[in-house]
Amino acid sequence: MGIHTAYIGAGSNIGNKLLNCKNGIAALTRDNKTVLKDRSKFYKTEPVHYKDQDWFVNWVVKIETTLDPFELLNELKSIERDTGRVYNPIRFGSRTLDLDIILYDNLVKNSADLIIPHPRMYKRRFVLRPICDIDPKIVHPVLKKDMQYLLDILDENEQRIIEYPCDY
């Protein structure tokens, strides 16, 4: 049972979005299996793919955990359910809370239940910008490019993102 480093993305576009994100990460770190090590700024972000919905609040946190990737995934899904998330039949639709494993150590995993690194992270400004707040030099374990490079090559006319002012 070792200690692992993971990056978790949190997003919400229903209800008190900021509080939903904060409470989701607080729930994840309430036991001694997961410790919050760092966090990004919060961002208000334009929806991707399905545009007919409210903007999201997103952030990314860096954690240390003794949970393996599947245990961590189960914990995240349990927290989503506890916050009242109902799975929307519209892919990429509205949600009370969405928690995703973005990176887990340098693991590359592709199973029916879990893909690490997150399969669309390198296309998402709302993931890359917050990760760059924490450490822009993290290298994507498949693409072998750092997060700042991946952010810089995104089309700047897509995925509007605005820093969301708040006190942690």
Instruction: Give the domains, in start order, of the chain with CATH numbers.
Output: 4-161 (3.30.70.560)
Residues 38, 52, 68, 85: which is the catalytic one? 85
Q: Which of 31, 52, 100, 133 is catalytic?
A: 100
Is 98 marked active-site? yes
The pLDDT tens digits of the residues spanning 11-43 come to 999 999 999 999 999 999 998 899 999 999 999
Output the six-digit token pair for 120: 């669309």
Q: Does the pLDDT of residue 49 top 90, yes or no? A: no
- Our answer to whether residue 81 is catalytic in this structure is no
Mean pLDDT of 101-119: 96
The residue among 54 and 101 whose pLDDT is bigger is 101
* Active-site residue, from 38, 91, 95, 146: 95
Active site residue 105: no
**What is the rounded distance in angstroms from the CA atom of residue 153 to the CA atom of residue 21?**
27
| pTM score | 0.92
Which one from 98, 124, 125, 133 is the annotated catalytic residue? Answer: 98
> For residue 85, what pLDDT band results from cuts at 50, 70 and 90?
low
Residue 148 has pLDDT above 70, yes or no: yes
> Is position 125 annotated as part of the catalytic site?
no
